[in-house]
Chains A and B, each alone.
Chain A
Amino acid sequence: MRGRLLRWLPMVAVLALLVAALWIAADAESAESRLGAAYGWLFGVCAAAVLVLVVAIARELWRLWRERAEARPGARLNARLAALFGLIALPPTLLVAGFALRFLDAGVDSWFRVDLEAAHEAARALGEQVLVGEQRQALARVEALARAIADDADADVQAQFDRLLEADSALAVHLASYDGNGGVEALAYSTTAITLPGAPDEALRLQIAESGGVAQSLTMTGQLVVRAFATATDRLGRRHLLQWIQPLPAELAPQLAELERSSIDYAQLRFQRGALKTTFALILGLVTLLALLATLLAALAATRRLTRPIARLAEATAAIGEGRFGTRIEVQSRDELGALTAAFNRMSRDLSELDAREQASRAETEQARAHLAAVLSRLSAGVVSVDGERVTMANAAAAQLLDCALDALIEQPLAAASAASPVAAQVMATIRERGQDARGEWREELALPGDPPRALLLRAVRLGGDGARQVVIIDDMSVIAQAQREAAWSEVARRLAHEIKNPLTPIQLAAERMRHRFQGKLDPGDTQVLERATQTIVAQVEALKGLVNAFGDYARPVRIELRPLAFAALVGEVLDLYESSGQCRIERDLAAALPPVRGDRERLRQLLINLLTNAVEAGGHGVAVEVKLVAGEGGVELGVRDHGPGLPAEFDGRWFEPYMSTKPKGGGLGLAMVQKIAEEHGGRIRAGNAEGGGARFVLWLPSAGAAA
């Protein structure tokens, strides 16, 4: 509501100024005062309208200045255009006003040329003479009437009036006789165009008394008449004041009336000469002011309207520059700006679509990268990508194989990556050396000293034509060899199960049948031999069956179900079992608040049983077994120490393979199963002699979070 009022107020002011100026101009031209009472209000309205316009312009200028100070789009252009329009409008307006003022001044002056004035004066003098002639004539007639009344024997004024009118029927006159008190004593008239005026006042009576007769002209009921007074004393000694009023002759009256009117008009104009100029200059000033203010206001409004689409375009362009594609502008016109706006909208839409496609492509790339990273992270082989002298990518297995942190490799120069570890130094040197020399693919085996010594196989593929980028795949040959051995053992176990287990049952049945057949038929000595022999066969067959079953278990592919579980609780359960059996004495040290591991409960239970059984068998029945469970790096670490003879000096990783045992009994599958189950869970097992004697096996399992 307030905004609408502010928008309309300047227009109302312009209209008010225009109407007031036209009103004053029209009134100034006319001789009649139609607007006399409203003049003060009219100028008040003009002042208020000018004030409104000035305030509106000031408001627009203030807004323009503020927008320019805030560096809003289009503000500078708006200001420049407004100034330009103002400069264009100002000179012609002032020029026209100046010339108009000059012409007005000259025009008003031209009304009063000397020859014109002389003609007016001559005409007026001529008319005056005619009028004076008429007055004299009327005075002569009334004086003649006075003499007739004085000579009348009857002293009858009314009769004299009547006789005069009867004697001259063409005479148009109005006669009256007043007594000494101003009362009408006789009246006669031959025309109704003249009404009886009021009695002469004292001043006129005095004048008549002094001069004997007075003649004058005056306007009665809109027409110029001649009035003459004379005094008469009748024979009875009475004094009569005679009044003679006659209209001017019909052939003179219009001309004299017109002459008097024009004389008055001319005299008035001559007197108003300065005021006329002032009034016209004032009107011209009002109109000029109106034109200037309205032009300025219109220029400000027009430039704002003109630059608004440009400002919107600038804002939208800035938005696109900030990456907000798809910004649209409403097309409000069909001109070039409208076409530009439409083109901008098309460009913005195209950019938006391109951006969407680019984002989708980027997401796909990221997804592929994440997939590749996931694949690489789960590879047991190490993968290192090198671009010239810089490592661009490496996976966790590579860091593990190179005995260094992943961050020490990724995005590091080869020299920096070489400093990460001795293994890394050896590998990076090989990559640099072979990368410079070789063409296409290359492979290299590196023997790494250590306990145990390791062998790494490096296989590289070059990417691109310049040969600077290459992907190096690193395999631990020891692990591969171990895996190959495990596979071989699995094959052995499978064949054992197939080739050996099948004949065992017929052997056992045959032995039992033989014992049953010959029992009681032989002499006691042979019967005893037969009994011992068949028992031995059956027992050994049972032992062979157990061995074959154990190998079968080792070789059988197992489907494990990994799920988060509290490893400490599982360890506690197994330890309770051993304690209650009385096979050994458990010294446990299980840390609280350990992270859960991700594992198969039954497989891990078997692992624990194998470890504890191994410890009990090593130490002997009833000895102590120390079990310690702590948090390790990225998982949990379980240490099992026995008090047996300890590990032999030649103990190494092969002792975790089947059929490797220091004990006189057993198939040598216990530790192999431990290692296999540990590897199934992403863990590892290592062994060593403890201080103070005995062996110590340490199992590391990744926590559920790390394993994920």
Chain B
Amino acid sequence: MAACGGDPHGSTVRSARVEGDALRLDLDLHFSDTLLQALDHGIPLQLEVQLAGAVANVQYIDLRYRPLSRQYELSLPGETGARVFGSRARLLAALDRIVLPMTPAAAAGAVRVQLRSSALPAPLRLPALVEREWQLATPARPWGR
């Protein structure tokens, strides 16, 4: 279900447009409590951005919590170093609008974002396969210039 049409929590790609060599995405991602707790317990979450078009492309967004500094890190493709946030809310707010590099930039295509369950620690992969709390996926959203 998640792989085809989206997660039960209603995550969506609100808009997607290409500006120059970048794809600007307005996201509305709903993380379940389980996912947020996992993040707070140091479980790295990896979002997979699937770009379908003339050239298929997959990019990854990493979210991580540093318990020592009590900071959250966001690693985006094309950026050197991670962005650092003092709170989870700021981290999630930063995910509302992201810019992804596109080389070469396609005139049209579709994009969807989903949690990459296979990147979770081994013990969590089985629940991630079957439990809805571990599912986060948006429907495919077409983009254009």
Interface residues of B in 70-103 (CB under 8 A from A): 70-71, 73, 79-86, 90, 93-94
Is the CB of A236 closer than 8 A to any CB of chain B?
A: no
Q: Which of B42, B84, B85 contacts A268 (CB 8 A)?
A: B42
Q: Which of B43, B67, B94, B116 contacts A203 (CB 8 A)?
A: B94
6 contacts between A and B (CB under 8 A): A35-B122, A260-B69, A263-B68, A267-B41, A275-B124, A275-B127
Q: Is the CB of B67 within 8 A of A263?
A: yes
Q: Is the interface of A mostly helix, strand, loop or mixed?
A: helix
Is the CB of B120 closer than 8 A to any CB of chain A?
A: yes
Q: Is the CB of A268 within 8 A of B41?
A: yes
Contact pattern, A 242-277, Cβ under 8 Å of B = 1, otherwise 0 = 000000000000001001100111011011100110
* Closest Cβ–Cβ distance, residue B96 to chain A (whole Å): 11
Q: Is the CB of B121 within 8 A of A278?
A: no
Is the CB of A31 closer than 8 A to any CB of chain B?
A: yes
Q: Is the CB of A264 within 8 A of B123?
A: no
Is the CB of B119 closer than 8 A to any CB of chain A?
A: yes
Q: Is the CB of A271 within 8 A of B43?
A: yes
Contact pattern, B 25-49, Cβ under 8 Å of A = 1, otherwise 0 = 0000000000001100111000000
Q: Which of B69, B83, B123 contacts A272 (CB 8 A)?
A: B123
Is the CB of A127 closer than 8 A to any CB of chain B?
A: yes
Report Cα–Cα, A689/B30, bound state, in Å: 142
* A-B complex: 6 closest residue pairs judged by Cβ atoms: A36-B118, A271-B41, A197-B81, A264-B42, A267-B42, A275-B123
CB-defined contacts of A271 to chain B, threshold 8 Å: 37-38, 41-43
Report Cα–Cα, A128/B43, bound state, in Å: 19
Q: Is the CB of B122 within 8 A of A278?
A: no
Contact pattern, A 17-32, Cβ under 8 Å of B = 1, otherwise 0 = 0000000100111110
Report Cα–Cα, A354/B94, bound state, in Å: 102
Report Cα–Cα, A267/B123, bound state, in Å: 14
* Closest Cβ–Cβ distance, residue B43 to chain A (whole Å): 6
**Smallest CB-CB separation from A35: which chain B residue?**
B122
Q: Is the CB of B68 within 8 A of A217?
A: yes
Report Cα–Cα, A216/B86, bound state, in Å: 8
Q: Is the CB of B123 within 8 A of A28?
A: yes
Is the CB of A539 closer than 8 A to any CB of chain B?
A: no
CB-defined contacts of A43 to chain B, threshold 8 Å: 126, 129
Interface residues in A, total, Cβ within 8 A: 48
CB-defined contacts of B90 to chain A, threshold 8 Å: 203
Report Cα–Cα, A263/B67, bound state, in Å: 7
Is the CB of A339 closer than 8 A to any CB of chain B?
A: no
Is the CB of B66 closer than 8 A to any CB of chain A?
A: yes
CB-defined contacts of A265 to chain B, threshold 8 Å: 42
Q: Is the interface of B mostly helix, strand, loop or mixed?
A: mixed
**Smallest CB-CB separation from A125: which chain B residue?**
B68
Would A195 and B124 be within 8 Å (CB), given that A39-B118, A268-B43 are in contact?
no
Q: Which of B69, B80, B94 contacts A128 (CB 8 A)?
A: B69
Report Cα–Cα, A127/B66, bound state, in Å: 12
Interface residues of A in 82-135 (CB under 8 A from B): 124, 127-128, 131, 135
Q: Is the CB of B123 within 8 A of A278?
A: yes
Contact pattern, A 21-58, Cβ under 8 Å of B = 1, otherwise 0 = 00010011111010111011001000000000000000
Q: Is the CB of A276 within 8 A of B69?
A: no
* Closest Cβ–Cβ distance, residue A176 to chain B (whole Å): 12
Report Cα–Cα, A264/B43, bound state, in Å: 8
Q: Is the CB of B126 within 8 A of A275?
A: yes
Q: Is the CB of A278 within 8 A of B126?
A: yes
What residues make up the interface of B, taking CB atoms closer than 8 Å to A?
Answer: 37-38, 41-43, 66-71, 73, 79-86, 90, 93-94, 116-127, 129
**Smallest CB-CB separation from A36: which chain B residue?**
B118
Report Cα–Cα, A272/B38, bound state, in Å: 9
**Smallest CB-CB separation from A120: which chain B residue?**
B67
Would A36 and B68 be within 8 Å (CB), given that A218-B73, A219-B82, A267-B41 are in contact?
no
CB-defined contacts of B126 to chain A, threshold 8 Å: 39, 43, 275, 278-279, 282
CB-defined contacts of B118 to chain A, threshold 8 Å: 33, 36-37, 39
CB-defined contacts of B84 to chain A, threshold 8 Å: 216-218, 227
Contact pattern, A 172-199, Cβ under 8 Å of B = 1, otherwise 0 = 0000000000000000000000011110
Q: Is the CB of A196 within 8 A of B80?
A: yes
Q: Which of A35, A198, A216 contacts B69 (CB 8 A)?
A: A216
Report Cα–Cα, A110/B87, bound state, in Å: 32
Report Cα–Cα, A195/B82, bound state, in Å: 12
* Closest Cβ–Cβ distance, residue A235 to chain B (whole Å): 32
CB-defined contacts of B119 to chain A, threshold 8 Å: 33, 36
CB-defined contacts of B68 to chain A, threshold 8 Å: 124, 127-128, 131, 217, 256, 259-260, 263
Q: Which of B71, B81, B125 contacts A198 (CB 8 A)?
A: B81
CB-defined contacts of B120 to chain A, threshold 8 Å: 33, 36
Q: Is the CB of B121 within 8 A of A219?
A: no
Q: Is the CB of A124 within 8 A of B38?
A: no
CB-defined contacts of B93 to chain A, threshold 8 Å: 203
Report Cα–Cα, A203/B87, bound state, in Å: 12
Is the CB of A220 closer than 8 A to any CB of chain B?
A: yes
Is the CB of A201 closer than 8 A to any CB of chain B?
A: yes
**Smallest CB-CB separation from A128: which chain B residue?**
B68
Report Cα–Cα, A31/B121, bound state, in Å: 6
CB-defined contacts of B129 to chain A, threshold 8 Å: 39-40, 43
* Closest Cβ–Cβ distance, residue B38 to chain A (whole Å): 6
Would A276 and B70 be within 8 Å (CB), given that A220-B81, A268-B42, A270-B41 are in contact?
no
**Smallest CB-CB separation from A194: which chain B residue?**
B81
* Residue picked from B84, B121, B129, most chain A C-beta under 10 Å: B121
CB-defined contacts of B122 to chain A, threshold 8 Å: 24, 27-30, 33, 35-36, 279
* Closest Cβ–Cβ distance, residue A175 to chain B (whole Å): 16
Report Cα–Cα, A135/B70, bound state, in Å: 13
CB-defined contacts of A131 to chain B, threshold 8 Å: 68-69
Contacts beyond the supplied A31-B121, A33-B120, A36-B120: 15 A-B pairs with Cβ under 8 Å: A27-B122, A28-B122, A33-B121, A124-B68, A203-B90, A218-B71, A218-B82, A219-B66, A219-B73, A267-B67, A271-B43, A272-B43, A272-B124, A275-B123, A275-B126
CB-defined contacts of A39 to chain B, threshold 8 Å: 117-118, 125-126, 129
CB-defined contacts of B116 to chain A, threshold 8 Å: 36
CB-defined contacts of A218 to chain B, threshold 8 Å: 66, 69, 71, 73, 81-82, 84
* Closest Cβ–Cβ distance, residue A18 to chain B (whole Å): 18
Report Cα–Cα, A227/B68, bound state, in Å: 15
Report Cα–Cα, A28/B121, bound state, in Å: 8
Interface residues of A in 658-705 (CB under 8 A from B): none
* Closest Cβ–Cβ distance, residue A425 to chain B (whole Å): 107
**Smallest CB-CB separation from B125: which chain A residue?**
A39
**Smallest CB-CB separation from B93: which chain A residue?**
A203
Report Cα–Cα, A82/B66, bound state, in Å: 58
* Closest Cβ–Cβ distance, residue B132 to chain A (whole Å): 15
Contact pattern, A 204-217, Cβ under 8 Å of B = 1, otherwise 0 = 10010000000011
CB-defined contacts of A203 to chain B, threshold 8 Å: 85, 90, 93-94
CB-defined contacts of A197 to chain B, threshold 8 Å: 80-81
Report Cα–Cα, A29/B122, bound state, in Å: 8
Report Cα–Cα, A550/B118, bound state, in Å: 134
* Closest Cβ–Cβ distance, residue A542 to chain B (whole Å): 141
* Closest Cβ–Cβ distance, residue A278 to chain B (whole Å): 7
CB-defined contacts of A196 to chain B, threshold 8 Å: 80
CB-defined contacts of A282 to chain B, threshold 8 Å: 126
